[in-house]
Amino acid sequence: TNAKALEIEKERKSIRIRRGREEVRVETEVLIAADGSFSRTARSIGLDLRASPYNYSPVLQYVMENITVEDDVVEMYMGREYAPGGYTWIIPRGDGTANVGLGIRSPFYERGTTIHEFLQRFIRRHPAASSKLKEGIIISRVGGLMPVGGPIPKTATDDIMVVGDAAGHVMASNGGGVPPALVCGEIAGETAANRINNGVCLSLYEEMWRSEVGEELNTSLKVREMGDLAMKSDDFMNGILEILGPKNIGEMIRCRLPLGLAQLYRLAMKVKKHL
């Protein structure tokens, strides 16, 4: 941690990194790249990062205190005025504190409004949430860029494995990345050990993580792609959610597509081609 990859020399099986002000070169038989969205490592070896603005979401979260929320209820809100192309959330932490944040995507709003302004607008003006948040005090802030385009096409080469945000191991429909990253990270570690001790090919990592979580990640991307069409209009989104009902919405949040929703996805993708 706290080390930044600067250059990979495949011929020498080494990587140049920076720790603080110090630059060092490390020789390695296997490299696990977990360097986040738009991974420098993945780009340096020519992997496709699916760099469409639809596939990456700026995110911002505050930890706030002095707010009025139910400790056992997570709140999520959608709407082009407050979170275009994404959603806002309030996640209680107890004792009048909560994580309050949002994710947005640039194709869904005009340039000129920053993500900080969208979050402040939500806190100060949202008809349902502002009364709970407007007296709140911001304790801390964290932000970044979340990959929401599904897994990248290739995550392993002869001596490098890509994991976590760098590999797109994130639920595209909701931005959840910790569970799949834990699964894929463990597989990467086991594969690295097997490579060093037994000479196995790193393509085994690709096969294993796709077998474990690939279906869920791909289904989540399908849910996000359907949501993209609905997010063009708040009225359309409200109508779609009403038609789906709580049961189907719950299935989609869990990254499942029952038969009827799978057929809806195929129809939605046909419609998308003509927009």
Domain boundary among 147, 174, 196: 147
pLDDT at position 195 is 96
> What CATH number corresponds to the domain at position 95?
3.30.9.10
Query: What's the whole-number average pLDDT of the chain?
Result: 90
Query: Which residues span the domain enclosing 228?
Result: 220-273
Residue 151 has pLDDT above 90, yes or no: yes
- 177 lies in some domain: no
Distance, in Å, from the CA atom of 275 to the CA atom of 272, rounded to the nearest integer, reads 5
- 201 lies in some domain: no
Looking at 95-167, list the stretches that DSSP marks H as alpha helix, in order from N- to C-terminal side. Answer: 115-125, 130-133
| Triad 170, 211, 145: Cα angle to 5° | 10
pLDDT at position 65 is 98
The residue-averaged pLDDT of 127-137 equals 96
List phi, psi (to 5°) of 121: -60, -45
pTM of the model: 0.86
- 64 lies in some domain: yes
Q: How many distinct structural domains can be found in the chain?
A: 2
pLDDT at position 135 is 94
pLDDT at position 257 is 72
- 258 lies in some domain: yes
pLDDT at position 82 is 96
The residue-averaged pLDDT of 248-254 equals 79
Query: How many CA atoms are closer than 13 Å to the CA of 30, on its beta-carbon side?
Result: 21
pLDDT at position 206 is 97
Q: Which helix (H) or strand (E) holds 102?
A: strand 97-103
Do the beta carbons of residue 184 and residue 215 sit within 8 Å? no
Between 253 and 157, residue with greater pLDDT: 157
pLDDT at position 241 is 85
Domain boundary among 84, 119, 147: 147
Residue 200 has pLDDT above 70, yes or no: yes
pLDDT at position 88 is 98
- 4 lies in some domain: no
